[in-house]
Amino acid sequence: MNLKLTVSPNPSRGDFLFALSGFEGKGADLRIYDASGRLVRKLNVRGGNALWDGKDRGGRKVRSGIYFYRLRAGNRVFRGRLLLFRG
């Protein structure tokens, strides 16, 4: 499986678009964590895309800072860093 993940924009003022190409499975799992490792949000990737709106599981805007993501698609795992700026 030749998978490619693109996250944009990064850094962002609010929304991050996760675009997964080459994945033909039923769905992928995306998790966003804060700098202390706490789970902030869990999203499902459908049709190869997911949008994190900079909000936590309760719908509240999270603070500016560094966040981490883990996206699992089949047996592949992508990890990376997100930089969120609130103005």
Residues 65-75 pLDDT 10s: 999 999 999 88
Q: What is the 3-state secondary structure (H, E, C) of 2-61?
A: CCEEEEECCCECCCEEEEEECCCCCCEEEEEECCCCCEEEEEEEECCEEEECCECCCCCE
User: pTM of the predicted model, to two decimals?
Assistant: 0.92
Which whole number is the average pLDDT over 33-58?
Answer: 96
Architecture in CATH of 4-84:
Sandwich (2.60)
pLDDT for the residue numbered 27: 79
